[in-house]
């Protein structure tokens, strides 16, 4: 398919007042096939829709007359202080929506003091991204079929100044993306995973008779022993992304992971999975109070952040909204999107009586099983 870019807005329209407004505007800035590639989930979009709907089913208490002297949204995570519990999730091929791609996102992250996770499938060299963001840079890693290529990506990330490695483990096989299939999406020739250039072609054997997935692709897919090997390859914090079961979180912790991202890949892999927010509490109970957990998939409001933190997350990741904002207004749009979310978080904290992140806990959630005690 041919790639053309719309003119990006230099001022934010007055009707963009929340994150979902950027998605509505993005449809006007993107070719249908590219929009469908970004906006869709796997299969029938059940998990993707569930990620947001389940946040709506969780109720917060309003608390009044609290002391807000010294109030703060700051957190301490993996040895570093951050001004909010908001992190930009890895999004591949950002030049699909903006000529500067990840460079523009990095400028916005820097302006809003927000850490950014760069995808293995970034369309901009990784060092050009870290050069533009001093607020924190993590590198998202897809394990390569050749371990030497995986090691090369790690060395490149270390050399470029990344602060952590985020290994994604829930996409050994691509999900069935029916919407972009119907729209005829294909990656334009001028867009590529530039940080993997120089590797020999990654090939997956599709042999296996009538089972090319189970006996072909999955025969070469990463296993826990590969994550153990990865842990030995770097001194950077290792974060395992794509966990939805408590036993997998325990396994990640046991092999030396420094944190886990509770995530269903934004509903883009296996359809009909539970919403990430619905798996969070059980995973927190399994790993204990001190092990860092991040929540990804479905966060669209400041109230969603409060709910995620109340159920055990230390921080949240924001995925699709950043790419929609980038499509509409470039770095300005991404920065504005982050500012909206931070303002919503502060309002939600103020009205729920939480002066700081430590004050957010399960007692802030309304349930029918117990009276409010927070």
Active site residues: 265
Residues 6+ apart with CB under 8 A from 356: 70, 71, 72, 73, 74
d(CA 266, CA 307): 18
Strands (E), the chain: 59-60, 75-77, 80-82, 86-88, 116-118, 137-141, 164-168, 238-243, 259-262, 293-296, 315-318, 365-366
Helix, coil or strand: residue 164: strand
Report CA torsion sign: 363, 342, 280, 134: negative
d(CA 86, CA 353): 20
Structure-token match 């719309």, residue found: 6
Burial class (CB in 10 A: 0-12, 13-18, 19+), 64: exposed
Angle at 298 between CA 292 and CA 344, to 5 degrees: 85
């Amino acid at each position: 398919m041919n790639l053309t870019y719309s003119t990006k807005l230099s001022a934010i329209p007055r009707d963009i007042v929340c994150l979902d407004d950027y998605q509505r505007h993005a449809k006007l800035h993107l070719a249908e096939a590219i929009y469908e590639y970004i906006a869709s989930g796997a299969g029938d979009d059940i998990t993707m829709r569930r990620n947001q709907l389940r946040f709506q089913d969780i109720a917060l208490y309003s608390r009044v007359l609290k002391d807000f002297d010294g109030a703060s949204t700051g957190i301490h995570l993996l040895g570093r202080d951050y001004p909010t519990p908001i992190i930009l999730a890895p999004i591949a091929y950002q030049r699909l929506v903006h000529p500067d791609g990840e460079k523009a996102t990095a400028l916005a992250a820097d302006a809003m003091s927000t850490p950014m996770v760069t995808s293995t499938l970034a369309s901009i060299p990784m060092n050009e991204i870290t050069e533009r963001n001093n607020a924190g840079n993590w590198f998202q890693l897809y394990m390569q079929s050749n371990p030497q290529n995986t090691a090369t990506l790690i060395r490149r990330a270390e050399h470029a100044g990344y602060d952590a490695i985020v290994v994604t483990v829930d996409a050994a096989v691509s999900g069935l993306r029916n919407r972009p299939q119907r729209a005829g999406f294909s990656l334009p020739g001028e867009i590529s995973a530039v940080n993997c250039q120089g590797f020999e072609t990654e090939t997956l054997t599709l042999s296996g008779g009538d089972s090319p997935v189970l006996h072909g692709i999955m025969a070469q897919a990463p296993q826990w022993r590969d994550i153990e090997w990865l842990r030995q390859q770097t001194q950077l914090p290792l974060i395992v992304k794509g966990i939805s079961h408590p036993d997998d979180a325990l396994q990640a912790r046991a092999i030396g992971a420094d944190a886990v991202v509770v995530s269903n890949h934004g509903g883009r892999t296996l359809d009909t999975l539970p919403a990430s927010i619905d798996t969070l509490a059980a995973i927190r109970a399994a790993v204990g109070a001190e092990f860092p957990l991040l929540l990804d998939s479905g966060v669209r409001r400041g109230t969603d952040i409060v709910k995620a933190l109340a159920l055990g997350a230390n921080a949240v990741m924001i995925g699709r909204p950043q790419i929609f904002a980038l499509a509409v207004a470039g770095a300005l749009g991404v920065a504005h999107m982050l500012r909206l979310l931070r303002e919503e978080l502060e309002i939600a904290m103020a009205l729920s009586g939480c002066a700081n992140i430590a004050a957010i806990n399960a007692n802030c959630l309304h349930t029918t099983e117990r009276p409010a005690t927070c």
